[in-house]
């Protein structure tokens, strides 16, 4: 699954915090920008694949 989304991020006192503009309910943190990006990818996939069985198919469509 390859989707492009926009991450907004900022530095707090200890962590980098970020959320997805297209899915503001997805917010996470990381000790580095690289960790933040990995964590936000994981959170997005968990949300996108919630309730999808292990065996699934994909098809590109135009909406």
On whether the CB atoms of residues 48 and 1 are closer than 8 A, the answer is yes
Averaged pLDDT for residues 20-49: 95
Give the contacts of 23 (CB within 8 A, at least 6 positions apart). Answer: 5, 44, 47
Beta strands in the chain (DSSP E): 7-11, 16-20, 27-30
pLDDT > 70? residue 1: no
Question: 15 φ, ψ to 5°?
Answer: -125, 160
pLDDT of residue 2: 72
Instruction: Give residue 58's pLDDT.
Output: 87
Better-scored residue on pLDDT, 3 or 36: 36
């Amino acid at each position: 699954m390859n989707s492009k989304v926009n991450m907004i991020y900022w530095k707090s006192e200890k962590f980098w915090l970020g959320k997805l503009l297209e899915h503001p309910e997805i917010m996470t943190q990381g000790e580095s920008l690289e960790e933040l990006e990995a964590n936000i990818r994981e959170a997005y996939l968990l949300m996108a694949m919630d309730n999808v069985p292990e065996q699934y198919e994909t098809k590109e469509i135009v909406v």
